[in-house]
Amino acid sequence: RKCNMGDGTGDIELDQAVSQWLQYDQNPKTASLVQDMMKEGAVDALKKCFSSRMEFGTAGLRAAMGPGVSCMNDLTIIQTTQGFCHYLEESFENLKERGVVIGYDARAHPPSGGSSKPLAVSLQPFTVSHLGLCAGIMVTASHNPKQDNGYKVYWENGAQIVSPHDKGISKAIEINLEPWPESWNAEEALKSPLLKDPYQDIHTQYFKAIQKHCHHRGVNKSSEVKIVHTSVHGVGHAFVQAAFKAFDLPAPFAVEEQKDPDPEFPTVKYPNPEEGEGVLTLSFALAGREGATVVLANDPDADRLAVAEKQESGQWQVFSGNELGALLGWWMFRCWKQQNPEADAVKNLYMLSSTVSSKILRAIAVKEGFHFEETLTGFKWMGNRAKELLDQGKSVLFAFEEAIGYMCSPFVLDKDGVSAAAIAGEMISFLATKNISLSQQLTTIFTEYGYHISKNSYFICHDQTVIRTLFDRLRNYGGQKDSYPSDCGGFSISSVRDLTTGYDSNQPDKKAVLPTSSSSQMITFSFSNGGVATMRTSGTEPKIKYYTELCAAPGNSDVKHLKKELDDLVKAIVENFFEPQKNKLQPKPE
């Protein structure tokens, strides 16, 4: 299917792909863009738009908006939705009675003509679960640059789809490429008696549901802490304000320039609070004016949350996703324990995190007696695992991943930056009544459960051959077939797990427990000094990411030494495992 563009056959394939496109596309804007490219003989531009159809994966679709099969546009969305529809009809007998919900964030796209409003992502899985629907579609590109859009899919269990649904949907798309006559007729669709807008009801029910996690109603009375919130030009503002209200907390100060949805993201380079301080500049300025000491930031579709706190030095500390995971995990457990003092109750309690995130929840679980489980990277895994546990009658209190994603409520089986903001707001206010800052509380958690210091970064690499060479070298270390390194620059390696091949030296049968995927690279090394390092390729970006953490035993509070040891470990990993391919890798831009 992929057009082979290197030779004459490729050009014929390109011609065919383009003429079929023009036959199908009824959007005058994208159609004329393609016609213009044809007239100008802009072969390279055409190849970019038609080289290969966007691949429908478990994350749905995400790509730049533009014409052609490689981009997000009306036609590719019609084709995808026809395929998805077909797949749903095959999967559910009562699809028409149960229904599907469609939502969107505030990305640039033509006016939908519908009556509903932009949504924070988490209300979408909530709607699927709450109304017992067959599926949900969310049009969002999360924190991607402004030219991108995406199509995220939830299954009837309220979690994002996992295999084999992606393959099934992908196949169904292939056989439904020709637009059905009614597919272009949005006006007619909007008149359908089957169409309902559940927005108001869902809005009410969602805030009622997350209110169950409000444990210290009225904590505002004695707390004087002031909080700033930014929605980074996304949809978060109204939802976070409502969530604070539901928790009976004073409204956070909103960053005026960023509070309303604006798909141009005019005040930030990237609309991604993970990128750290640049995105938070306006928030810090507002905090300065209002005397606020904490900043909460959502990404544009409000499924993620970043937190920063002003230190006594006057400097802002932006917490890493792992640090905030430690704080929220601790807080969620503390509140739960107060409500469930019986000694046995913890036996039914679970927390989850992705395998590249901090192991701090494991340390808390070991000491407190609840269960901790790891999943593969991404909330599709945590959401589906949480649902399995809930169906077995277990309680799932909290799940997180280092990429500032937090699931604080089983009502939403995905990360949710809205409930996380309100719960963080309550934790911050509660701590403030005791004159404790977040960074002080983090130290207390580490003192009690052991310091967990992590350092994550990546190299950029567009060449799959280089990536394969780099990882295969680690699997055949020192030229020895199927042999992994036992040492990295003096740091002794105690175990290796390779989720590309399914090998785990720690398991009695040497088989990894987590699912294996041969199409992506992922190796984890555990070190004798309590270090853990994972190297993996990203499914959506041209990156080799690495995640490292040093897990110290409780009582070891020599932070300076621990930090140095982690720095040395990271250096050894870069030198020994990445540098042989150095010339072909670009470091993370500063």
Ligand X SMILES: *[C@@H]1O[C@H](CO)[C@@H](O)[C@H](O)[C@H]1NC(C)=O
Position 248 contacts ligand X (CB under 6 A): yes
Query: How many Å apart are CA 400 and CA 44, to the nearest integer?
Result: 42
- The residue at minimum Cβ distance from ligand X is 218
Query: How many Å apart are CA 567 and CA 580, to the nearest integer?
Result: 20
Position 250 contacts ligand X (CB under 6 A): yes
Sole residue written with tokens 């395929």: 83
Task: Tell me if residue 297 falls in helix, strand or coil.
Answer: strand
Q: Which is nearer to ligand X, 244 or 503 (CB)?
A: 244
548-284-356 Cα angle (round to 5): 15
> Smallest distance from the beta carbon of 315 to ligand X, in angstroms?
15
Q: Which is nearer to ligand X, 127 or 437 (CB)?
A: 437
Backbone CA torsion sign across 300, 306, 312, 315:
negative
> Smallest distance from the beta carbon of 216 to ligand X, in angstroms?
10
Give kind and range of the element (H or E) at residue 298: strand 294-298
> Smallest distance from the beta carbon of 296 to ligand X, in angstroms?
16
Q: Which is nearer to ligand X, 96 or 217 (CB)?
A: 217
Binding mask 420-449 for ligand X (x = CB under 6 A): ---------------x--------------
Residue numbers 39-58 binding ligand X by CB under 6 A: none
How far, in Å, are 96, 242, 304, 379, 408 from residue 416 at the CA level? 29, 14, 6, 10, 8
Based on the residue annotation, tell me whether 170 is a catalytic residue of this protein.
no
Position 375 contacts ligand X (CB under 6 A): no
Position 218 contacts ligand X (CB under 6 A): yes
Q: Note whether 304 and 273 are within 8 A (CB).
A: yes
The single residue among 217, 289, 462, 582 that binds ligand X, judged by CB under 6 A, is: 217
Q: Which is nearer to ligand X, 316 or 546 (CB)?
A: 316
Q: Which stretch binds ligand X (CB under 6 A): 212-220, 254-262, 471-479, 520-528?
A: 212-220
Binding mask 170-209 for ligand X (x = CB under 6 A): ----------------------------------------
Helices 360-368 and 438-449: crossing angle in degrees, nearest 10, is 60
Task: Please list, in sequence order, all residues whose beta carbon lies within 8 angstroms of the beta carbon of residue 140, skipping any fewer than 6 positions away.
Answer: 104, 105, 107, 121, 149, 150, 152, 300, 301
Query: How many Å apart are CA 223 and CA 589, to the nearest integer?
Result: 40
Q: Which is nearer to ligand X, 440 or 556 (CB)?
A: 440
Q: Which stretch binds ligand X (CB under 6 A): 10-18, 130-138, 213-221, 329-337?
A: 213-221
- 41, exposed or middle or buried, with CB in 10 Å at 0-12, 13-18, 19+? exposed
Q: Which stretch binds ligand X (CB under 6 A): 9-17, 38-46, 218-226, 467-475?
A: 218-226
Task: Tell me if residue 307 falls in helix, strand or coil.
Answer: strand
Q: Which is nearer to ligand X, 339 or 435 (CB)?
A: 435
Taking alpha carbons only, the member of 305, 307, 230 closest to residue 261 is 230
Catalytic residue from among 51, 122, 142, 419: 142
Position 468 contacts ligand X (CB under 6 A): no
> Smallest distance from the beta carbon of 432 to ligand X, in angstroms?
10
Q: Which is nearer to ligand X, 183 or 241 (CB)?
A: 241
Residue ranges binding ligand X (CB under 6 A): 217-218, 220-221, 248, 250, 435
For the annotated catalytic residues, the residue numbers are 142
